[in-house]
Amino acid sequence: GKLAGLCGNFDKYTSNDLTTSNNMEVRNAQVFGDSWILGQCKSANETLKPCEVHQSKFPYAKKECSILYSDVFAPCRNVIDVTSFVKNCHTDTCNCNLGGDCECLCTSIAAYAHKCCQQGAAIHWRSPSLCAYDCEYYNRGLGEGPYILASYGVNDTIIGANISSKRIFPLPRTGAYGNVFFSFMITPGLFKDKDLSLSLVSLESAERPNYFLYVHDNETVGLEQWQASAFFWRRATFFHHQDLWSPGLSAFELHSKKGFFIVLTSSGVKVAKYDDSEEFKRLSSFSIEELSASVPYRRMCEWRYESCANPCVKTCSDPEGIACKFLPLVEGCLPYCPKNMILDEVTLKCVYPEDFPDVTSLAWSKIPTHKTIKPYFSMTEPTDLQTRTRIDLSHTSGGMALPSSSKPPRYLEPVDKCSQYVCVNMGWMLYNLSRNCPKDVQKPDCGFQGMPVQVNTDSCCPEWECPCQCSVLSELSVITFDGNNIALCNMASYILVKLQGEIIVAHIEKCPANQVSPASTSGLCFKKLNVTTFTNKLLINRLARKVVVDSVIQSLPFSKEGLSIQDTGSMYVINTPAGMSIKWAHVTGIIDIQYGLHSNTSMKTEGLCGVCNGDPTDDLKMQNGTIITNMEEIEVFIQSWEIEKSLDVTTRRPVRNCTEDNCTYCMELLNRSTFIPCHKKVSPQEFCEKMWINSTYFWNYECDALSAYVALCNKHNICVKWRTPGYCSLICPEGKEYQPCVQPCEAKTCLNKWFYEDSPCSYLREDCVCKNGTILHRTDSDLCIPEEKCTCTDNKGQPRSAGEIWNGSVRGCCMYNCLENGSIVAVEPECKEEPPLVCEREGEVIVHVIEERACCPKKVCECNMSLCDTIIPTCKPNEKLVVGYHPLSCCPQYRCECDPSVCFNASQLNCREDQFIVEAKQEDPCCFSYLCICESCIEPVPLCDEGEILTVDLNTIHYCCPHYYCVCDENLCSEPPMNCTGDMTLVKEKIPGQCCPEWHCECNCENTTMLTCKLGEVKKIDSSVSSACGCTHYICEKDDVCIFQEITVLNPGQSVIQYLDGDLCYTVQCLQEKDQTTGYNAMHFTMVNCSQQCEAHQIYIPSSSHHTCCGTCQNVSCSFHTDNGTLTVYE
């Protein structure tokens, strides 16, 4: 049959999933859900909060559920509001009774992730330590491998199978190619035996999934396709014995026939019964070897976890994957098969299309076909009530029978919501409930408080009360709970409402220059609101759009312990644990504080808003309990509720009225045609007398007065279009426009555009709304954008349209693309090729860098310090090492510079009167020391003449300017400027007053007669020279002699003897003729070897005379000549 209910109808069409219990298709999810309610739950007030009941679990729940606020879920929080999911996560985790908190926690987080997935935001939130999702359960069925089964008994032989016949045979290793299968997967046994499951395996062909090693009845072995029978499973299941007979080897025993093993011989693969022979053990032993080149798809993890993916896959029942395309994105384990394979739904493996099992033999039902079912009724067909004739009833008879032509209703059905037929005296009478109400149904006049509110649920007999509502208008007028009004004129903080455990404080401050309230020409703004409860402290800065809870800035919406804050884009909506409901408009600053009804308020209020009890006489109640009855003391009441006093002096304000004072101008303003529609609800006379006349501020600023009047009109849902661009205009933020009458409390934003409905507020208001064609990007900003820009939001909160590409990094390059489904994916930048770069500086190399905010790498020359051959000098103790650079080199150049920080502080000197102190570098070139420096000398230093030397007066050397004088030193005089002739002498002449003498030549013949001749020369008169002085000149001429060895003079005929080299005797004789070379007489040299003149029996005795050349020969033995002529010596 067809499905129906909250889970939908599973007819392959998502468009009609929201079909109600009466078979109507709706768009509203709430209406759809309510139609399937079977019974009402107990009220929320009676439900115990699990985290309050199980307080010990709350810290764990709060910590773990905070992942929904982490960066992991950031892409989704812009699409799906996370607040309710966090609350549900806390509740579910605290209330978990499944034996472990993780189960409920993971389910709650997965619910939000699933919602994100439905909106196209894939969240990868699971990890091994958090809610791990194990898909290995499915992959374990794929087995291990692929392996080859190599025989131990037959060398180089493995188990192979024929592709076409599926016959098993011994296959040589070298023949493992062509039309054969030879690799197997070792999978868990097809036949499940709980006692032996760990050792049971099946051998599946890796090349042909769904084909298993199978033992036939005749005990032959072959490859057979998977069958859905226990008989097949058992025949394809084996005991895997490892290290049974030999280490590292395996044996496979038949599960269907215990004691029988697979045996491989040279002739075939068969089944043999166990025997204890070594031959059997060798033939039944196999080496399981992993393939070096394995089948690729069997290496892949065929079942994978996906956080958000389409579960539609090609299967045996749907080979093209068409029937499941309508399925939404889900999280779970999904199979991934190669392109030429499909999923077998039975074995959960990727198989070839021709190899899947026949599912018709199994108890599998096919997907039902789609059928069109006629609705229970058509909304266009008329009903009995639409065609029923309505008649009036007579008051005299109490009823009237219906005409025969009109068909009476079968039941007491209502004609409308307050009229129905009742049977009276056997006749049908139309009974009006509204004419018989127990109480007055007329609405009271609530004046400045606005429209009355219904206090019961009976639409036919409604009961009304004036709202227990306090308002602060734009120009800071306060309308109290019971309708009184006061005005705030000072910068201060005021307690608006005070309850037991709760305080609401208004902070009136000076308006920023760029944010002036639409009705605050006084320069004051209702800027901040402080709400303090038993457990929390809330501070809202309206102008800065910032919310702080317990000193921590909070993003909205926020809810905690009964305190909730929401930013609708138009206003803040705050609900407090005590029941206060606050609406604070962003643009106008008007705040409305609602506190239930007068008839059922449990606690009485205090503060500037007064006492909410329906009695206006006790509204002006001070903090000390005194009730102000004299309106002239209104300032005393206001100041009593000040927290930070703005004035220390209490002033009395005179009370005025329109009878005694002039309200003409106010009435003229309100009697304009624009305001006439509001006169019946907000009397101009009452407004002028109660608000205008008593506020001198209104007298000067008519725009503020009119703004207050229009705000009161809006409380009665009366639209007043009074502002114009040239009169009391309201300036809106860029992208927004002013509208005088706005009803919805909530603005349409990118986050709620799919389910946005114009939910009206209690009454109208002035506001700035997004211009036509745009919506608000976020509730906490004033940015209005086209709806197509809502597709994505980047990490900086900026909207992005589909297809838009941007750089999401502040400094680097992180290019992103916005997809149609709202997902943001990283993309690679498109970079152009740069021209080649040449590095000219020493030590530079070309590197690729990416500059800040740039996406493409840029070639730049960068210094590579490893290429630098820099010598670092060793600095002295008073120096420091500094580095510099040269324009033509990037390598650092080190040098030593003085380090003034290591210099000691020298003491100052006591200088003389003619000196002054200076700092100078002396022995230490790096450090300064004090010196006494002389002043400039006035007396000039004398200039000395030639031959004089400048000398200081020793008695004045200790002064800065000693006395100098010149001292003569003839040694310093220059050489005589003239050369005298040989017969003249240079004579010095002293000149008085002059250091250096003068010189002149005088005759002196002594020089001519003092001629000295060399050895062998004689002095003779030189007649060729004449002398002015009359002096005789001599010359030296060579004499007729011989010069021997430049020391001995020999006259011609004389000789001299000299001994050289032992027994050699030299004789030199002076001859008469001249030697042309020397100019002296020539010499004759003779040499005699004196010892050679002695005989053999003699020794030589040198001569003792210098005049005799040779000595004598002395006999030392006798000599004798024999007959044959030989000489014989005898001692």
**What are the structural domain ranges in the chain?**
1-40, 44-118, 137-294, 300-368, 411-440, 447-714, 788-828, 830-902, 909-935, 941-973, 1092-1130
pLDDT value of residue 450:
87
Give SS3 for 416.
strand
What six digits make up the tokens of 643? 């927290």
- DSSP state string for 690-749: IIITT-HHHHH-HHHHHHHHHHHHHTTT------BTTBS--PPPTTEEEEEEEEESS--B
* pLDDT tens sequence across 828-841: 888 888 888 888 88
Contact 794, 809 (CB under 8 A): no
Residue 47 has pLDDT above 50, yes or no: no
Cis peptide before 170 (omega within 30 of 0): no
Cα 78–chain centre separation:
20
pLDDT value of residue 360:
46
Q: How far apart are CA 966 and CA 952, in angstroms?
A: 9
Q: Which of 110-114, 640-644, 980-984 has the lowest mean pLDDT?
A: 980-984
Mean pLDDT across the chain: 81
Distances, alpha carbon 265 to alpha carbons 150, 174, 218, 269, in Å: 11, 17, 17, 6
What six digits make up the tokens of 985? 């002498």
Do 137-294 and 300-368 share a fold?
no
CB atoms within 10 A of CB 428: 20
Mean pLDDT across the stretch 1008-1037? 82
pLDDT value of residue 365:
32
CATH class of 300-368: mainly beta
pLDDT value of residue 891:
87
pLDDT value of residue 696:
62
CA dihedral sign of residues 372, 373, 375, 381: positive
Mean pLDDT across the stretch 433-448? 82
* pLDDT tens sequence across 155-210: 888 888 888 888 888 888 876 666 778 888 999 999 887 666 668 999 998 888 99
What six digits make up the tokens of 364? 């599998």
* pLDDT tens sequence across 287-314: 998 876 555 555 555 788 889 988 888 8
Q: How far apart are CA 170 and CA 159, in angstroms?
A: 5
The DSSP H or E segment spanning 34 is: helix 29-35
Share of the chain above pLDDT 70, in %: 85
Q: What are phi and psi of 251, to 5 degrees?
A: -130, 145
Q: How far apart are CA 127 and CA 135, in angstroms?
A: 13
What six digits make up the tokens of 128? 């091994």
What six digits make up the tokens of 786? 């086209």
CB atoms within 10 A of CB 84: 12
Burial environment of residue 296 by CB neighbours within 10 A (0 to 12, 13 to 18, 19 or more): exposed
Q: Which tops the pLDDT comparison, 50 or 108? A: 108
CA dihedral sign of residues 225, 229, 231, 237: positive
pLDDT value of residue 371:
30
Q: What angle do CA 623, 629, 632 make, to 5 degrees?
A: 95
- Comparing CA positions, the residue from 529, 477, 535, 465 lying closest to residue 501 is 535
Q: What are phi and psi of 333, to 5 degrees?
A: -90, 120
Which CATH architecture is the domain 137-294 placed in? Trefoil (2.80)
The DSSP H or E segment spanning 848 is: strand 844-849
At which residue do the structure tokens 């603005």 appear?
747
Contact 495, 608 (CB under 8 A): yes
* pLDDT tens sequence across 321-354: 887 777 788 888 888 888 888 888 888 888 888 8
Mean pLDDT across the stretch 956-981? 85
Q: Which tops the pLDDT comparison, 300 or 582? A: 582
Mean pLDDT across the stretch 901-912? 78
Q: What are phi and psi of 113, to 5 degrees?
A: -60, -35
Q: Which residues of 22-58 are buried (b: 16+ CB within 10 A; e: fewer)?
A: eeeeeeeeeebeebeeeeeeeeeeeeeebbeebeebb
pLDDT value of residue 49:
66
Residue 12 has pLDDT above 60, yes or no: yes
Q: What angle do CA 520, 521, 525 make, to 5 degrees?
A: 35
The DSSP H or E segment spanning 859 is: strand 858-863
Beta strands 157-162 and 492-499 are: unpaired
pLDDT level of residue 650 (50, 70, 90 thresholds): very low
- Comparing CA positions, the residue from 653, 713, 634 lying closest to residue 681 is 713
Which amino acid does the sequence have at 789?
K
pLDDT value of residue 175:
67
Residue 518 has pLDDT above 60, yes or no: no
Burial environment of residue 251 by CB neighbours within 10 A (0 to 12, 13 to 18, 19 or more): buried
pLDDT value of residue 97:
67
Distances, alpha carbon 780 to alpha carbons 538, 541, 785, 867, in Å: 17, 12, 14, 57
- Comparing CA positions, the residue from 532, 486, 490 lying closest to residue 509 is 490
Residue 95 has pLDDT above 50, yes or no: yes
Distances, alpha carbon 940 to alpha carbons 936, 937, 943, 963, 1049, in Å: 11, 7, 9, 9, 71
* pLDDT tens sequence across 1079-1129: 888 988 888 888 777 887 888 887 777 677 888 888 888 877 777 877 777
* pLDDT tens sequence across 249-263: 999 999 989 899 999
Residue 1065 has pLDDT above 70, yes or no: yes
Q: Which residues contact 953 (CB under 8 A, 6 or more apart)?
A: 962, 963, 964, 965
What six digits make up the tokens of 1065? 């005797």
pLDDT level of residue 412 (50, 70, 90 thresholds): very low
Beta strands 250-254 and 238-242 are: antiparallel
List the beta strands (DSSP E) in 533-623.
Answer: 537-541, 546-549, 552-553, 558-560, 563-567, 571-575, 581-585, 591-594
Give SS3 for 1118.
strand
Residue 42 DSSP code: P
Q: What angle do CA 846, 848, 854 make, to 5 degrees?
A: 140
Q: Which residues of 1002-1032 are buried (b: 16+ CB within 10 A; e: fewer)?
A: eebbeebeeeeeeebbeeeeeeeeeeeeebe
- DSSP state string for 984-999: EEEEEE--TT-SS-EE
Mean pLDDT across the stretch 46-57? 66
Q: Which of 318-322, 490-494, 515-519, 719-723 has the lowest mean pLDDT?
A: 515-519
Residue 369 has pLDDT above 80, yes or no: no
pLDDT level of residue 374 (50, 70, 90 thresholds): very low
Q: How far apart are CA 136 and CA 391, in angstroms?
A: 76
Q: Which residues of 872-881 are buried (b: 16+ CB within 10 A; e: fewer)?
A: eeebeebbee
Q: Which of 561-570, 623-632, 745-754, 787-796 has the highest mean pLDDT?
A: 561-570
pLDDT value of residue 723:
92
CA dihedral sign of residues 127, 128, 130, 135: positive
pLDDT level of residue 240 (50, 70, 90 thresholds): very high
CB atoms within 10 A of CB 102: 16
Contact 775, 784 (CB under 8 A): yes
Q: Which residues contact 158 (CB under 8 A, 6 or more apart)?
A: 148, 149, 150, 151, 170, 171, 172, 173, 176, 182
Q: How far apart are CA 852 and CA 814, in angstroms?
A: 11
Mean pLDDT across the stretch 1050-1061? 80
Give SS3 for 241.
strand
Which amino acid does the sequence have at 192?
K
